[in-house]
Each structure stands twice: as C-alpha cells, then as structure tokens.
Structure 1
Amino acid sequence: MEKRLLEIICCPETRQPLREATPSELARARSFRAGNFEAGLIRQDEQVFYPIRNGIPLLISDEAIRLA
C-alpha cells in the first residue's frame, strides 16, 4: 500500500492511525475468520484488523476482525 495513503486513512470507529499488517498478524486474522483477503491494516492499538481485498482496504465495521 502506498505510504501516502497510509498517512491519511484511519480507523472509521476510533480515528486511530492504521498500518500494514505483518505476515504473522495476517495469519492471526485468518485464524479468527476465514476469508479471501491478501493483506490487511492494523489499528494503532492492534485490536482490530481491516482486510484488503483486490487491493482495496475494507474500512467498514462489518468487515473488521476483532483480534482481542
């Protein structure tokens, strides 16, 4: 994901910054919910994962995966 885009997007619920998920965080999110997402974004507090499908971040509450 482009650095410029990461600088302006945020969590729609809390407005916390988001960052790209690491491979281990991606695996953890997949353990909570099976899905066809290739990457994801993690909220600053590391409690919520937003999947990325087809290059598009799904920044809606219904798509969020709660990691805590």
Structure 2
Amino acid sequence: MIDQELLALIRCPITNQPLKQASDDLVSRCNQGVTAGTLQDRGQRAVTEPIEQLLVTEDQQWGYPVRSEIPTLIPDWAIELAAMPAE
C-alpha cells in the first residue's frame, strides 16, 4: 500500500493531476491484458509484468504501475486506460 502522505504529494507527470489508488477491479482488468499480451504502455511496449498496484489520474485516463511499493512515474511507462478494451 502506498503511503498516503506520499500519495498526497505526487502528480501525474503527463497531466499534473493528483493520483489515487486504482480499484482492485481496474488492476484485475489490467492484469488480464498483461496475461493476454494486449496491454501496452505509452511507449507502445507490451506490459509483461503483473501489476501489483496502480495509481490513476483523477480523470482515469492514465495509470502508473506500482512495483515493490514504488510508483513508476515515468511518462513512457504510463498505461493509457482509455485505450483499454471495454469489459
């Protein structure tokens, strides 16, 4: 779990929006894309590692994987959530 004080300070490097933890449902949907080989990051690379946690922008357009409790706030590693196929 991300420290709430840290979460209050960090912002999306693309939009400068605050970030919040994604729902378990959204993380599960992303991991289905990882398993299927269809989930890509902003840099057009396949996401191959399961997502433990995900931070999302307020508008739910971008997601940032959290690995070993460390947010990966690199713009090219962001997941464009709007581009994910609907359930």
Q: Same fold (TM over 0.5)?
A: yes
For normalisation by structure 1, the TM-score amounts to 0.88
- The unaligned stretches of length 5 or more in structure 2 are 40-47, 83-87
Residue 46 of structure 1 aligns with which residue? 60
Residues 35-60 of structure 1: CA deviation (Å, up to 9, x unaligned)? 23311101110011100111110001
Equivalent in 58, 62, 66 of residue 76 of structure 2: 62
Q: Determine which structure has the larger strand proportion and give its number.
A: 1
Query: Would you identify which runs of 4 or more consecutive aligned residues in structure 1 move more than 4 Å?
Result: none
- Point out where structure 1 has 5 or more consecutive residues left out of the alignment: none
- Over the matched positions of the two proteins, sequence identity in percent amounts to 40
Name which one, 1 or 2, has greater alpha-carbon Rg. Answer: 2
Q: RMSD over aligned Cα, in angstroms?
A: 1.3
